[in-house]
């Protein structure tokens, strides 16, 4: 997910997306523990996507406070 895509999302969409991605991450970890994934590099990539989403939420909160 690119930052330009994230910035186009609304606050509500961002929070929903974070929850969806967190669930997806948990499922991926469980599936990987049971049987190895074909590409285990997807797990850190998903964690980074979640971090990008959270950073944008925080940036928006700080902008609101500053105004």
Entry pTM:
0.90
**20, 52 contact by CB (below 8 A):** no
Q: Which domains does the chain have, with CATH numbers?
A: 3-66 (1.10.287.310)
In this predicted model, what pLDDT tens digit does every residue of 12-58 receive, in sequence order?
Answer: 999 999 999 999 999 999 999 999 999 999 999 999 999 999 999 99
The CA distance from 67 to 62, in Å, is 9
Give residue 67's pLDDT. Answer: 82
């Amino acid at each position: 997910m690119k930052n330009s895509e994230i910035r186009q999302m609304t606050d509500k969409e961002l929070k929903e997306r974070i929850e969806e991605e967190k669930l997806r991450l948990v499922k991926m970890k469980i599936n990987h523990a049971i049987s190895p994934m074909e590409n285990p590099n997807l797990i850190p990539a998903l964690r980074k996507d979640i971090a990008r989403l959270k950073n944008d939420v925080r940036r928006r909160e700080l902008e609101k406070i500053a105004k």
